[in-house]
Amino acid sequence: MRTLALLVMMAFGSATAAGAVDLRLGHFAPDGHPCDVAAKQFKTNVEKRTNGAVKINLFGNNALGSPPEVLEQVLLGAVDMSLSGQDQIAKHLPFYDTISTPFAFKDYATADKIIDGEFKAWAAPLLLTKNLVHLSDWEWGFRQLTNSKQPINVPADMKGMKIRTPPAFAYQAFVEAAGGNAVTIAFSELVMAMKQGVVDGQENPIGTIYSLKIYETQKYMTIVNYTYSSMVHLVHKNSWAKLNADQQKIVQEESRAAALLARKLLRDDEAKQLADLQATKGMVVTKPDLKPWKAAMGPAWEKVKGRVGPDNFARFMAMVEKAN
């Protein structure tokens, strides 16, 4: 089905009006999620500012396959653009796992400073070696724990629990360092896995927990902000080359504007969503002292360092120290 869908899209692209450039953007945000809203703004504004010379066709909510599959299609040049998670990029450029080091970022301001600054300067030329042009970093958010068993206040409370993670090295390292058992399940299968009780819990930002209605099967949430994750807006360099200089400038500007919109919406929504999760959705939310959690992360940090290499790890942690 996905192969057929891709062939249909390619045929649609070839039918675009003469002189127009047709770009396909695939992402995994659910309908109504801040990144879905931002993607629609990106489409509207690019098409308006280019007078229809650049068309953006959106395929959200895993319409083109799982997040890793969508990135693979962009790498192959079969899809023009993606909003890809840092963990997905790390499968192809392992240094990207540095950004998911548990408890590296203390708040959103720190994340913005690093990701929009030194990390982007580091990442952009390395992404080009994979034929990927970096446009901007949108937002997925700080990740929290949920489970169906009991409140989790200290790592010992999670001991032995089966916690769903995406196929993301650093996320799994966090769960294992805290005493849980990391179980890899694709994002598109997350809701069903919760409903079927395949695992005891999962980890995701508040906005994702809310939009996917994870509260229907997960009674307990622990606010740990253990790592920050973004959706990286990437375009294949051959697709980028189809645009003239003015069009590239517009796409770059509108990507950045969409990134800022996604961040604002997500952050503005979090407090309201958290209040609603407790007041009307029945979730029990705890905000534990993070000292025991950070103290347990030695093994996770060592795993990340081993994965990315000591030099890359040191370079990233220097950025963190400077930003803090």
Looking at residue 19, what is its pLDDT? 77
pLDDT attached to residue 18: 52
Say if residues 214 and 116 touch (Cβ distance below 8 Å): no
Does residue 186 sit in helix, strand or coil?
coil
- The model's pLDDT over 268-292, given as tens digits with 9 standing for 90+, comes to 999 999 999 999 999 999 999 999 9
CB-based contact 145:286 (threshold 8 Å): no
**Parts of the chain belonging to CATH 3.40.190.170:** 2-139+230-267, 142-227+271-311
Mind listing the pLDDT tens digit for each residue in 201-245? 999 999 999 999 999 999 999 999 999 999 999 999 999 999 999
> Which residues are bridge partners to 222 per DSSP?
145, 286
Answer yes or no: CATH 3.40.190.170 is held by domain 2-139+230-267.
yes
The CATH number of domain 142-227+271-311, selected from 2.60.120.10, 3.40.190.170, 3.40.50.720, 3.30.1540.20: 3.40.190.170
* Residue 7, pLDDT above cutoff 70: no
Share of the chain above pLDDT 90, in %: 93
24-29-33-34 Cα dihedral, nearest 10 degrees: -60
Beta-strand runs (E) in the chain: 21-26, 54-59, 81-85, 132-137, 141-142, 144-147, 162-165, 181-184, 201-204, 220-222, 228-229, 231-236, 284-286
At 26, the amino acid letter reads G
Average pLDDT over residues 296-301: 98
Give residue-wise pLDDT tens across range 121-133. 999 999 999 999 9
Residues 6+ apart with CB under 8 A from 82: 25, 26, 27, 70, 71, 73, 74, 233, 234
Distances in Å between the Cα of 173 and the Cα atoms of 66, 261, 270, 281 are 22, 31, 26, 30
Nearest CA to 233 out of 251, 249, 250, 246 is that of 251
